[in-house]
Chains A and B, each alone.
Chain A
Amino acid sequence: MEHIFYSLQDFMVYTKGITYLIMGGLLVLLPLFWVFVAGNDEKKELF
């Protein structure tokens, strides 16, 4: 079911709420992925 937004304000609160959660996820995932990309040789140097 799709919620209908009647005001930009409500829309912003909703969408920014979700983007903040995604931001949190990115901040966790990106460093982990970098550790994966960098492989074993750089692992010790990064963290």
Chain B
Amino acid sequence: MAITRRKFLGWMGCAAAGSATLAGTAAYGASNKEFKGHPGSFGVLHDTTRCIGCRKCEKACNEVNKMPDPKVPFEDLSVLETERRTSVHTHTVVNRYAPSKQASSEKQHPIFVKKQCNHCLEPACASACFVKAFKKDKKGPVGYDETLCVGCRYCMVACPFNIPAYEYDNPLTPRVMKCTMCLPRIEEGKLPGCVEICPREALVFGKRDDLIREARMRIQKYPDLYVDHIYGEHEMGGTSWLYLSKVPFSQIGMREDLGTTSAPQMTAGALSAVPIVVGLWPVLLTGIYAISKRKDKVAEEEAQEAIAHVKEEAETALASELAKLKEKMTKEKETAVTAAVKKAMDEAAAAAQAEEKAKTEEQKAPEAESDVEEEK
């Protein structure tokens, strides 16, 4: 196919528009952006209809991860009698499930399911980890960095599949243990240990997108063999490990009630409330403080005003009282003066009369006058 100049420019335009879109959307909040996972990341398709429960994958896993030998050898299939979970030294386990009784005759074989870390696209463990010890690699595996791990075990609380195990008997350097999807081997170009050894191709390694197409094809081709669901395509936001089954997944120990909401989405709301509290609480609380302070101040001012008012009133009352008193006193004085003057005048008049009547009493009048002067 020849590439014309026009076509080339068109591609360039598309690429530019595409990157612009990506750049643009990256600036939005998480609410309206969809994350599709690392492009071309790997995964494994586990077709449970093909699994024969030989436990070879468990053995390979044990060898690849250099784990101690188990108490019961891997060839002993009696361990399948009880349902097991992953643990510190077994990163993968195969469980056997009895077929349901109502199933048709061809479904009577026991069903074997391999269990290990599902390597979520949006890992709950990584979302929960407060030291970023878990990281989704662009190749697909969810890795664990023991040099950061504090050992809080919140990842184990968070994991919806109950996968991570913890070295409870290690007093000083306990680690969280789980399947690594054999990342070191993938980087060397090899298959994960369990996939490589599987004698029945019950495990297929490949790009996750291709695996989903493959799984759909199988369901379409053999509708009687499979339930129409790829477990892990959307569970908990999608996982890198995908499962096919001929019976509903809840019958083979896999929870169907997990939903499609990824772990980071579940906590996004609470996390987004944090900065708003930090932004608004200082304003609200300082506001309440300022109002209560202001109220105190106003109350204080009012109290002072009231005191001032009372004082003023008291002063006015006192002043008027004093004035009254003064007035009264002045009046009394005046009355006394008038009375004295009148008395003096009367006396003078009487004296004059007496002068006229009797000339012998002439000396009395100046005495009375001097009396009046003294009283003043």
B136 touches A7 (CB 8 A): yes
Could you list which residues of chain A lie within 8 angstroms of chain B, going by C-beta atoms? 2-13, 15-16, 19-20, 22-23, 26-27, 30-31, 34, 38, 42, 45
B264 touches A8 (CB 8 A): yes
Give the residue of B26, B36, B293 whose beta carbon is less than 8 angstroms from that of A45: B293
Q: Which residues of B contact A8 (CB under 8 A)?
A: 30, 35, 122, 237, 262, 264-265, 268
Q: Which residues of B contact A38 (CB under 8 A)?
A: 290
- Given A8-B264, A27-B282, 8 other A-B residues pairs in contact with their CB atoms under 8 A: A8-B35, A9-B126, A9-B136, A11-B26, A11-B30, A12-B127, A15-B30, A31-B286
Smallest CB gap from B27: residue in A: A2
Could you give 28 example pairs across A and B, Cβ below 8 Å?
A3-B26, A5-B26, A6-B37, A7-B35, A7-B37, A8-B30, A8-B35, A8-B264, A8-B265, A9-B122, A9-B126, A9-B264, A10-B136, A11-B30, A11-B33, A12-B30, A12-B127, A12-B264, A12-B268, A16-B271, A19-B274, A23-B274, A23-B278, A23-B279, A27-B278, A27-B282, A38-B290, A45-B293
Q: Which residues of B contact A12 (CB under 8 A)?
A: 30, 127, 264, 268, 271
Q: What mask results when residues 262 to 288 of chain B are scored 1 for a CB within 8 Å of chain A, else 0?
A: 111100100100110011001100100
The 4 closest A-B pairs by CB, nearest first: A2-B23, A23-B278, A30-B282, A6-B38
Could you list which residues of chain B lie within 8 angstroms of chain A, going by C-beta atoms? 19, 22-23, 26-27, 29-30, 33, 35-39, 121-123, 126-127, 132, 136, 138, 237, 262-265, 268, 271, 274-275, 278-279, 282-283, 286, 290, 293
In the assembled complex, the Cα of A7 lies from the Cα of B238 at a distance in Å of: 11
Q: How far is the CB of B258 from chain A (nearest CB, A)?
A: 17
Q: Which residues of B contact A6 (CB under 8 A)?
A: 35-39, 138
In the assembled complex, the Cα of A9 lies from the Cα of B29 at a distance in Å of: 13
Smallest CB gap from A20: residue in B: B275
In the assembled complex, the Cα of A20 lies from the Cα of B278 at a distance in Å of: 10
Q: Which residues of A contact B263 (CB under 8 A)?
A: 9
Q: Which residues of B contact A23 (CB under 8 A)?
A: 274-275, 278-279
Q: Is the interface of B mostly helix, strand, loop or mixed?
A: helix
Q: Contacts A7-B121, A8-B122, A9-B123 given: A26-B282 contact, CB under 8 Å?
A: yes
